[in-house]
Structure 1
Amino acid sequence: MSRSRRPAPSRGRRARPKASKGESYVGRRFEIEVGPVAHGGHFVARVPIGEDSRVVFVRHALPGEQVVVEITEGTAGDRFWRGDAVSVLSVAPERVVPPCPYAGPGLCGGCDFQHVSLPAQRDLKATVLREQLVRLGGLSAEDPLVADLVVEAVPGDVDGLRWRTRQRYATAPGGGRGMRRYRSHDVIPVDDCLIATDGAREPGAGTVVETVEIGDATHSFEVAADGFWQVHPGAPATLVSAVLSVLAPAPGQTVLDLYAGVGLFSAFLADAVGPTGRVVAVEGDQTASALSVGNVPAAEVTAGDVATVLGGLEEGPFDLVVLDPPREGARRAVVEAVVARSPQKVAYVACDPAALARDVAIFAEHGYRLRTLRAFDLFPMTHHVEAVALLEGSGA
């Protein structure tokens, strides 16, 4: 798991400068009805423009609400606009008062769903994951894996708050700490980020030690202080348990752990396959890979681009594969290098629904089918969701 592979929910994205495409609509307000949730923490609506209309991706809204939307990005020549629901005229039953005073139009860009009840947040995330699997993954909406999908709560937060164990702040005007507005360089002062744990660390130099306990097994991992580690306290154990459950590794089996980070999955997989088995761990981040050597002495560790390393890896099958790619997914070169090793089972850990769906479609081209799928709410109050999928070949 390389260090830049997950989004930082506490910081707003910076807008990319783009060429003007005609008259600006920024600041204009329209009364609209809000449509379905879309991937990315916003909702789809249409604004009438003369005899035409324009798609607007609206934040701080909910499906079915009548709102006044203020356009935050958009010109006459753009295919779609972005906007904020600055006034709610009819309120959805799932709407709540945001617990954080910095959440809302024009404020901190880190949290997408502070205005949504926790159960409804998880329903929205499940909706997005289902839609991506159907639209990009080629699955049927009636498939039970899709239709019955739920996003599971994970122990370790407090009603969706106080879960972020690492937190990076920007410097506010006049000093002090702050957060960026959504898609902006602007920083607003923030006294207390409610999704951060008390004592959340800011990334820095050196290393820290993280400990994970699953059943009777406990492993400690040295992690770069500025490197990647799951920020929700319940995430590492939840994800490892899910992966072990679907793969059911047995003594003597061979395992390929791709995007292995500091060895979280490798350590527990090495326990399961024992001294007669084999775990090969590949990670692109040099620092994380070097740390995994000490964290998992039983694994064969290789640092380098995953697709490149797989291309040079000796021929021969692996029984099991773990894929935990960055946000853009594994992509075709890696997927095809994996299926070339003829694994019985592939556990895919995904942090982006669209990337997962695209890769599921590529696996399907090679006879691997999605057999199980679980989703976890590792980033409450944001649109992000984690999933663990099991793919099996036709011979499994």
Structure 2
Amino acid sequence: MTDQPAADPSTARPEEALPAGTVHTGGPAGTAELTVERPAHGGHFVARHEGRVVFVRHALPGERVRVRFTETDDDASFWRADVVEVLEASPHRVPHPWPLADALKAAAKGRSAVGGAEFGHIGLDEQRRLKAAIFEEQLSRLAKTERPVVAEPAPGEADDGLGWRTRAAFAVDSAGRLAMHLHRSHEVLPVREMPLAVAAVNDLRLWTLDLSGIERVDVAVPSGGGEPLVLLVPAAGTSPRRVAAVANSIDGASVGVLEPESGAVQRMTGRTWLQESVLGTDYRVTGAGFWQIHRGAPEALVSAVLDGLQPAAGERLADLYAGAGLFTVPLARAVGPEGAVLSVEGSPGTSRDARRNLHGQDQVAIVQGRVDAVLRRWSEPLDAVLLDPPRAGAGKKVVRQIVEARPRVVGYVSCDPASFSRDLGYFLAAGWSLDTLRVFDLYPHTHHMESFARLLPPPA
């Protein structure tokens, strides 16, 4: 299900004192006292009110909380709510490291929290235990398989789980100040430092600038350090002179203007791309191109992929949803000039990045297009397949095409346990088995996680 912006709940204050178990249901301002049961996929926790499931954010299992309902459609099978007061706290509740994302501080000011750190009230060890439990529940419910899961921290993770984001997207408010959206809302709130971001993002001090005329500001920093790249998305009708003035006010970064629909970047100052380095290999990524957000994610995932696929010289591989070539480059090196790699990516800009990063690697065929369409036309045998689909997953058609190719192994990189578990169910139904599974906590203080699975075909 795709999240859609909710009606803005931020203008109503929670009612001061309601008897336990009562609820006012006159709209999003309604409140109730609930007991939280268990975690659920998507950053929520399950509670119940009069037989109806309520998905609660900013809670913990076992807590007794007062919530403010944010979605209360009488015809809906569930409601949504935010915690506004903790009546009986979990021992795993800790002070939130980011005040603007702290639901309790936000509720005291009569608004919602900004999105992006919805697990910040939970100790890091408990965050990982909850993420593992959520992954296990998705495997059981959607793939009909039981598998114990451990969520691993990223290489070099900080003890406080902060300072890991190398990419950050900001809004701009009506006064021209750097801002972020409140959760599931079009409303924005001015921000300063972002604790989840690497220091180079905050060192730009974009909150001190007049960003009038700009609608969105994206910041990217190379995982290993280096000059940041700032991409500006102008509001409709903003003059080129005004955009140039904003670009010139940004010190310590390259600056470009991003066209969101096409992904094209116009250079204003510096360069429009970043150089990334992973395990001794350099990559070029254009400003709008996809790259893993956590500074340690590329190393963790490349290592998992190579360990899982064990590519050998002369083999024929496919890297599906290949992006800028993060995995294609080491796979091409492993199979050597006598092997072959098919790289498939849907985004034209990101596919161009892959061509640059694989320049001179004649054993690689880089195809820009839909994965299912490319596989339908591809007639060469494949020894191994790697797929790293977007959050929606690969889907039944692509899984069927991979199964029909009968590779010796499939590696599946996923950023969503629900879509992965659904796709895993398709593989299992075709007689395949889940050999190994690694889950990585690459997004501390959020509900998100990444995984790598090694899948094996049925015996011949």
TM norm structure 1: 0.89
CA offset at residue 345 of structure 1?
Answer: 0.4
Which of 250, 274, 297 aligns to 1:209? It is 274
1:186-225 correspondence to structure 2 within 5 Å: 186-200=187-201, 201=219, 202-203=230-231, 204=258, 205=265, 207-214=272-279, 218-225=280-287
Residue in structure 2 matched with residue 306 of structure 1 by the alignment: 371
Over the aligned positions, Cα root-mean-square deviation in angstroms equals 1.8
- Letter of the structure 1 residue corresponding to residue 122 of structure 2: V
Alignment CA distance shift 1:177-1:13 (3 Å): farther
- Provide Cα deviations, 1:95-138, integer angstroms capped at 9, x if missing partner: 00001111123121221101000111111111111000010011
Per-residue CA distance 1:309-344 (angstroms, 9 max, x = gap): 110112x42111101001010001111111111100
Give 2:408's aligned residue: 344
**Structure 1: runs of 5 or more not aligned:** 1-6, 18-22, 141-145
Do 1:157 and 1:232's aligned partners in 2 also have CA atoms closer than 8 Å?
A: no
What is the rounded CA distance, in whole Å, between the counterparts of 2:143 and 2:116 in structure 1? 28
**Letter of the structure 2 residue corresponding to residue 107 of structure 1:** A
Q: Is the 8 A contact 1:209 1:220 kept in 2?
A: no
Contact 2:6 2:71 in 1 (8 A): no
**Could you say which residue in structure 2 is the equivalent of 1:74?**
72
Q: Highest relative contact order (Cα 8 Å, sep 6+), 1 or 2?
A: 1
* Percent identity (aligned): 44
1:136 corresponds to 2:198: no
Structure 1 residue 334 corresponds to structure 2 residue 398: yes
Q: Does 1:45 align with 2:70?
A: no
User: Match of 1:167, SS?
Assistant: strand
Residue in structure 2 matched with residue 111 of structure 1 by the alignment: 117
The separation in 2 between residues aligned to 1:337 and 1:378, in whole angstroms, is 30
Q: Is the 8 A contact 1:65 1:90 kept in 2?
A: yes
1:283-334 deviation digits (Å, cap 9, x = unpaired): 11111112211211321100100001110112x4211110100101000111
What residue is the counterpart of 1:14 in the other structure? 5
User: What's the counterpart of residue 459 of structure 2?
Assistant: 395
- Report how far residue 271 of structure 1 moved: 1.1
Answer with 98-107 or 242-251: which moved more.
98-107
SS at match of 2:373: helix
Instruction: Tell me which residue corresponds to 1:4.
Output: none
Give the structure 1 partner of residue 100 of structure 2.
102
Name 2:248's counterpart in structure 1.
none
Match of 1:324 among 373, 383, 388: 388
Write the distance in 2 (CA, Å) between the matches of 1:167 and 1:267. Answer: 26
- Name which one, 1 or 2, has greater alpha-carbon Rg: 2
Would the aligned equivalents of 1:129 and 1:353 in 2 still touch at CA under 8 Å?
Answer: yes
Query: What do the CA deviations read for 1:186-222 (whole angstroms, capped 9, x no partner)?
Result: 10111111111122324453642333332xxx22211
Distance in 1 (CA, whole Å) between partners of 2:194 and 2:345 is 32
Q: Is the 8 A contact 1:283 1:304 kept in 2?
A: yes
The answer for the alignment partner of 1:241 in structure 2 is 303
**Corresponding residue for residue 435 of structure 2:** 371
Q: What letter matches 2:412 in structure 1?
A: Y
Amino acid at match of 1:343: P
Structure 2, unpaired ranges of 5+: 9-24, 104-111, 202-218, 220-229, 232-257, 259-264
**Aligned partners of 2:355 and 2:366 also within 8 Å:** yes
Structure 1 Cα separation of the partners of residues 177 and 157 of structure 2:
26
The TM-score, its normalising length taken from structure 2, stands at 0.77
Equivalents in 2 of 1:199, 1:13: separation in Å? 31
Count of residue correspondences:
367
**1:166 aligned partner:** 167
1:282 aligns with 2:344: yes
CA deviation after TM superposition for structure 1 residue 16, in Å = 8.0
The 1:13/1:192 distance shift into structure 2, 3 A limit, reads farther
TM-aligned CA distance change 1:355 to 1:267, over 3 Å: same
Is 1:154 paired with 2:146? no
CA distance in 2, matches of 1:39, 1:264: 28
Distance 2:102 2:54 in 1: 18
